[in-house]
Structure 1
């Protein structure tokens, strides 16, 4: 199989590429405020400078953190899975929300296993323009199945391991999340596992993403969803202060 290795700076460049409108807005705001301070100097200039500094600092911090998470850290090397045993010939499933950056990487790591990919992207629900841009830029993993979160269509006891990497938060409704995870529970074999990778709504993500961190859910929320889905959380680990990995059975 052709290797699909990540390129240097791929993570941060994708963020800028798919969310360029945010950076344009930030630049326009800074330029407008700076122009006002030059053309119409007043005692309020310090407020404008404060806003300029805040926007500049916030944008810079988010980009630095994104580079650290998606390019510098071991997130996409998948070596944080080295202590996770996967038997040869296992049936693996990777589920994404419209943008799949990990199926090729998982297949390379577990070359002796069977890997299927599913995509629950729904343009009526997932209206972020960034996802639309990403889907146009990257082809899906071969034979990716399009699914509904409430109707995954998996046979009972047919899967050894399910990976849901940076995707589950796109299911916004709690009951829909529970239905989604209950279906995977039914599809797991006796010793099957589910691995969920997520940003958390916490102080670390708030410091670098500001209001953007509210797009994520708290660790308490995830634990509640897992418990109501009748899944057992056997371990939680961090790949960075910004990313949690939940191991479920």
Structure 2
């Protein structure tokens, strides 16, 4: 299991590795704009220079933020779970959307737990090329079960704690999200809990990811989904200004 521990700069390097097409596009745009400044003169040059500076600053800022979130913060140390009552022998459920960076970490933290891992990735629905590249680079956790968001197939009242970490936003339809979380709610034991980790669609994520932040949902959307699925939100915490942790029962 030691080989699955995170390495320095792993997070930000994965961002570049799985989304290299965006950086190629940025380089191409900068090259074209420089060519325009050579061929033209006057105010157009200043506009081109401003756009070039904007592209470089935006790209650099997003990489710095990604390094902070995925490599420096305690997101993958799982220290934010220290205050959650999870016993070593509990039955844990971890659901991902095709790219699983947390199952080995959860098993390492809760060594004696019964960990079930599920993956709702559907290439017909989830068409992001970055996820396809990530799946090729990182094989699934052993025994991972492929599921549909409309049918996770977990027995009623069998789970002590369910995790959905940086995955739920891949379910784009709100009604589908509600159905998904209703099934998780049904799978919980009477004292069971759900922990959801998500980026926010807010000013902080917009400043560093620009239009990419619209791939996420705002906290108000999640709270409404949780309420309509029968889950009760007991606490919300932040892992950096960019990510929320929702604790539910």
Same fold (TM over 0.5): yes
Q: Which residue of 2 aligns with 1:242?
A: 242
CA offset at residue 89 of structure 1? 1.0
TM normalised by structure 2 equals: 0.98
- The reply on whether 1:8 has 2:8 as its aligned counterpart is yes
CA offset at residue 3 of structure 1? 4.9
CA offset at residue 4 of structure 1? 1.7
Instruction: Describe how 1:185-204 pairs up with structure 2 within 5 A.
Output: 185-204=185-204
Q: Which residue of 2 aligns with 1:177?
A: 177
User: Following TM superposition, where does structure 1 have runs of at least 4 consecutive aligned residues deviating by more than 6 angstroms?
Assistant: none
Query: Matches of 2:71 and 2:41 in 1, distance apart?
Result: 42
- The reply on whether 1:206 has 2:206 as its aligned counterpart is yes
Instruction: Describe how 1:60-139 pairs up with structure 2 within 5 A.
Output: 60-139=60-139
For residues 23-67 of structure 1, give each alpha carbon's deviation from its aligned partner in whole angstroms, at most 9, with x where no partner exists.
000011011101110222232111111111111111111000000
1:93–1:161 CA contact under 8 A, matched in 2: yes
- The reply on whether 1:224 has 2:224 as its aligned counterpart is yes
For residues 102-154 of structure 1, give each alpha carbon's deviation from its aligned partner in whole angstroms, at most 9, with x where no partner exists.
00000000002111100000000000000000000011000000000001001
TM normalised by structure 1 equals: 0.98
Query: Matches of 1:98 and 1:50 in 2, distance apart?
Result: 38
RMSD: 0.8
Query: Matches of 2:3 and 2:54 in 1, distance apart?
Result: 42
Number of equivalences: 249
Secondary structure of 1:186's counterpart equals: helix
Question: 5+ residue gaps in structure 2?
Answer: none
Query: Matches of 1:75 and 1:100 in 2, distance apart?
Result: 14
Question: 5+ residue gaps in structure 1?
Answer: none
Query: Matches of 2:237 and 2:70 in 1, distance apart?
Result: 17
Secondary structure of 1:164's counterpart equals: strand
- The reply on whether 1:168 has 2:163 as its aligned counterpart is no
